[in-house]
Structure 1
């Protein structure tokens, strides 16, 4: 029995290590993308990752978490800024309270796309999972997606 338990523990450890290693893989960011980020956000310390095939820069603005997504040609597709829940449009707060009464907003963000279109994101916990509830600039519900 001890051998079976030991084998299971080793297999679990190897699986966990492999997943952690994959998440921490270095991303090779093209110079054109780095240059575009530096032009848009001079002097910011950045951590690079990937998002849906694009390059995601994670950094801070005035102490708040932010991220910017660039394509491989250095075109900035969107910027996401963490905001306080109270900064969400009132319609968002009412919608979440009405439609997800047992859920609490755990994080809020304002997303600005490359055409200056604004979307708001309210992250909630529901059934043990995290979900992003998306709204337009006026606070009108767009959709809910499982978070990461």
Structure 2
């Protein structure tokens, strides 16, 4: 029974791989291809941590992985800063030209998706005041 199920499972998975392929992960547009290559190197180093048998090899591989991870984070921050700078120059250009539609769109992109949530006002006992009147009286 188990052998039969293994055969069926193998046939299904191999057929699905051939027909469908792998599901591609869509990255953010502002991340450069060099950064994506560096992330792949980091993933490879992470798998080497799991594949190493000896403790000293694992420690050495983990140190390499942390260095690679720091480099990736640094590159991602630089890419994001570059993209934000480009958006800011686009907004300035649209403002100078009087193109309000483009200015609105770029400021909306710069502002982001979510706004800052308001802080809750707490009473002296530590319980948060939920009603607006309670917050005003506080």
Same structural fold, with TM-score higher than 0.5 when normalized by the shorter chain: no
Between Structure 1 and Structure 2, which shows a larger proportion of helix residues? 2
| TM-score normalized with structure 1 length | 0.28
* Structure ID, larger Rg: 2
Q: TM-score, normalised by structure 2?
A: 0.29
Which has the larger share of strand? Answer: 1
